[in-house]
Amino acid sequence: MENVTIVEGSSDSAIADWLAVQLGRALDAGEGLIPITVPGGSTPFPIMEALLEHDLDWTRLVVWPGDDRMVPEDHVASNTGKLRDMFEPAGAEVVTLTETLPVPHFALAWLGMGADGHIASLFPNTDPQIGEPRKVVRLTPDPLPEEAPFDRISLTIPALLASDGIVFVIRGDEKRAVFDQAVAGKSDLPVARLLAAARQPVTCFI
């Protein structure tokens, strides 16, 4: 896939620097609010902490969780609650995902990926489709991850594809192998379906 760039060995701070450049360009390109979607989990939060050290107009940023667990926002498993704690002190708005909320075109869709090839909370058992008419769905992973055994709410593949750019941050050889298979078109996992349909630049930090 010619639109996919793989960057190896970048530190959290280097990834944060790259993200800051992308957000700066989006902010400079026009006026008004800039929506982005970001992942949860343990990998992105140190990168977000480094990102927030950059001098950007955070008051124009609207942060959408790519997915969340169906728990209260003050629950330890809530992505949205963690994002609020990080971004709102800087002045950014953090959105609570609901099935009725109009989903914008994102300046950037930042994603993680599981070893099973899931993106956001689009696990293989949920059979996510490129032509899904909904932008937000509620679903139940099967099997439920032991570390977070909750129902989920998630942006869909079409919602994630409605973005100017896509970036992945993936750690570990196992996930690298899954991503490489997806880029090569040798799997039908959720990540492979997204990549096959993506026409915007895709950058993957590994």
Q: Which residues of the chain have pLDDT under 50?
A: none
Residue 205's beta-bridge partner residues? Answer: 7, 169
Measured over the CA atoms of residue 48, residue 67, residue 7 and residue 24, the dihedral's sign is: negative
**Within-domain flag for 75:** yes
Q: How many domains is the chain partitioned into structurally?
A: 1
Q: What angle do CA 45, 51, 52 make, to 5 degrees?
A: 95
Cα–Cα distance, 132 to 190 (Å, whole number): 13
181 occurs within a structural domain: no
The tens digit of pLDDT for each residue in 10-30 reads 999 999 999 999 999 999 998
Q: What pLDDT does residue 148 have?
A: 80
Q: Which domain holds residue 146?
A: 4-112+132-173+199-205
- Tell me if 193 is assigned to some domain: no
C-alpha 156/C-alpha 89 separation (Å) is: 29
Within-domain flag for 46 = yes
The answer to whether position 47 is within a domain reads yes
CATH number of the domain where residue 62 is located:
3.40.50.1360
In a domain, 78, yes or no: yes
Q: Does any domain span residue 127? A: no
Q: Does residue 185 sit within a domain? A: no
For the whole model, what pTM was predicted?
0.95
pLDDT of 144: 83
